[in-house]
Amino acid sequence: AGKSSLISGILRLVHRSCIYGNILIDDIDISRIALNHLRSHISVIPQQPILFSGTLRYNLDPFDHYTDEQCWTALEDVQLKKFVKGHSDGLLMSIAEWGKNLSMGQCQLVCIARAILKKSKILLIDEATANVDQETDNLIQEVLKNKFQNQTILTIAHRLNTVAQCDRILVLDNGIILSFDTPTNILQPYCQQSSKLL
């Protein structure tokens, strides 16, 4: 429907010639910004979490910008501190490639802790809760609400509870914008239709 294409465009993963129009962030055409600079201000939480073979600390802070204390605080924010403290190696615990030695929910929470540390201006979330249980989904929604209040969050989602707390919802169909409005205005017709069926 064009949702992943939108994220690809924002990250400039597609060549400029493939984009019709411009993408502006804070009134600045992103095609005029150095790619490294643009991406340094964006964090991405994809549907399939990206974790590398190495330590948990490396996965939280691959460029060694943050202190251990900051890493522990980020883990506490996503409720992983107790789990990691229970491991004999703590922050130095081994993570298998793609986080295969963690649950899907734990992998997503590590990615969110990484984003908390980075404090990017923009957070792109691409179906991040599609493969996690309801309890982890609820935790992720709560963390996003409390820890990213000053960031712009673009969320691609199919679950209504994921977008219900957003400020605005953009509805796309085959790359065409069908609506852009508040959750109340967009979801109200669906709620009314559902109530007629009960």
Residues 81-113 have pLDDT tens digits of 999 999 999 999 999 999 999 999 999 999 999
pLDDT at 148 over 70: yes
Q: How high is the pLDDT of residue 197?
A: 42
Output the pTM of the full model.
0.85
Q: How high is the pLDDT of residue 69?
A: 98
Longest Cα–Cα distance in the chain: 56
Report the amino acid identity of residue 92.
Answer: L
Residues 59 and 110 in one domain: yes
* Half-sphere CA count of 184, side-chain side, radius 13 A: 1
Is residue 15 situated within a structural domain? no
Are the C-beta atoms of residues 183 and 163 closer than 8 Å to each other? yes
Q: How high is the pLDDT of residue 1?
A: 52
Residues 97 and 179 in one domain: no
pLDDT at 198 over 50: no
For residues 159 and 164, give the distance between their C-alpha atoms in angstroms, rounded to a whole number.
9
Q: Which residue would you say has higher pLDDT here, 3 or 21?
A: 21
Residues 176 and 107 in one domain: no
Q: How high is the pLDDT of residue 128?
A: 80
Confidence bin at 28 (pLDDT 50/70/90): very high
Residues 141 and 182 in one domain: no
Comparing CA positions, the residue from 62, 37, 38, 64 lying closest to residue 50 is: 62
Q: Which of 35-44, 74-83, 156-165 has the lowest mean pLDDT?
A: 156-165
Beta strands in the chain (DSSP E): 24-25, 28-29, 42-45, 54-55, 94-95, 122-126, 152-156, 169-173, 176-181
Is residue 127 situated within a structural domain? yes
- Domains: count for the chain: 2
Residues 175 and 143 in one domain: no
Residues 147 and 60 in one domain: yes
Q: Which structural domain range is residue 178 located in? A: 167-198
Q: What is the mean pLDDT of the chain?
A: 88
Q: Which of 39-43, 74-78, 161-165 has the lowest mean pLDDT?
A: 161-165
Is residue 98 situated within a structural domain? yes
Q: How high is the pLDDT of residue 191?
A: 62
Averaged pLDDT, 108-126 = 95
The CATH number linked to 102 is 3.40.50.300
